[in-house]
Amino acid sequence: MEPDVAARRGRIDSEHPSLSVRRQCELLGLGRAGLYREPSRESDEDLRLMRLIDERYLATPFYGSRRMAAWLARRGEAVNRKRVQRLMRTMGLEAIHPGPRTTTRDPDHEIHPYLPRGVTIDRRDQVWSTDVTYPPLEDVYMFLAAVIDWHSRFVLSWRLSNTLDGRFCLEALDAALEGRRPEIFNTDQRCQFTARASTGRLKEEGVAISMDGRGRALDNVFVERLWRSLKYEEVYLKSYRNVREMESGLEGWFAFYNHQRLHQGLDYRTPAEVYHDPTPINPRGKETPRTIT
């Protein structure tokens, strides 16, 4: 890294009361790549295993480290459970069925109930949710957060980071809240979403906070489907060499997803059309609107 760039990055204050990290980078002339610290590198073998684990997890999200290690062994991979645990932890993965708690929560913050249960989703900005996934570069995994509207499946915002801290999640939340407010905001119970900064921001806006229940695979189903589509339609088809290529690819795919990709559950309309058009959705042959169970 050039000394001048390092000096400018050193001036970034992650706790600044009024300027986001992204805005500080813009003012310092760092560009979007200036948002990222130098990521730690994974070995080629670990990256290969992480790709296998990631693809298996998409198909069987109830696999914990024990089952994942057994599945890898059946493929002829000489890898023990401890290594699988470490790689899954690096990727932010955990099995969705009830079991030993591996999700990290801010110990000073309360747990919120799962609010959408029994709610009929029939309008935009009724329920939003967010989650994190882990698209790979050639030699490291990045972390991607997105905020989605349940009624329309419209992606309101997304942010990329190379560290699993809460800043990029808060920036995604701030971007989504520009000019809009949900009635309910649903997350999982990870520390990025239970941090005081995130929950405090929601409380300031008068938003009801909801958190996934343990072992409930469908509590955040819309964003899980988003990740599946993203990976099979974009990420797994590409080999991003750097952050710039990844951001460009993600930007293009999210634009396609919001404005061009037709959804069967939206009566073959796009998320943008449904989000910006109050006409009720009436999927052919399907009952609507949907009530969350």
HEC secondary structure over 209-230:
EEECCCCCCCCCHHHHHHHHHH
Q: Give the whole-angstrom CA distance, residue 28 versus residue 36.
A: 14
**Tell me, what's the pLDDT at 262?**
96
pLDDT higher at 1 or 151:
151
pLDDT band at 100 (very low <50, low <70, confident <90, very high): very low
Q: Read off the pLDDT band of 128 (50, 70, 90).
A: very high
Question: Of 290, 258, 155, nearest to 280 (Cα)?
Answer: 290
Q: Torsion angle of alpha carbons 267, 273, 274, 280, nearest 10°? A: -70
- Between CA 22 and CA 157 the distance in angstroms is 14
On whether the CB atoms of residues 163 and 37 are closer than 8 A, the answer is: yes
Q: How far apart are CA 56 and CA 37, in angstroms?
A: 29
Q: How far apart are CA 24 and CA 4, in angstroms?
A: 16
State residue 154's pLDDT score. 98
Report whether pLDDT(97) > 80: no
Of 118-132, 184-198, 276-290, highest mean pLDDT: 118-132
Distance CA 157, CA 160 (A): 11
* pLDDT tens by residue, 46-88: 888 988 998 888 888 888 999 999 999 999 998 999 999 999 8
For the stretch 272-289, pLDDT in tens is: 999 998 777 665 545 456
The two tokens of residue 44 are 């080629």
What are the tokens at 125? 């900005």
DSSP run (H or E) holding 128: strand 127-133
Of 235, 293, 282, the closest CA to residue 55 belongs to 235
What is the dotted CATH code of the domain comprising 120-291? Answer: 3.30.420.10
Report the pLDDT averaged over residues 229-235: 92
Q: Sign of the C-alpha dihedral, residues 260, 142, 34, 189?
A: positive
- Provide the CB-side half-sphere exposure for 138 (13 A, CA): 7
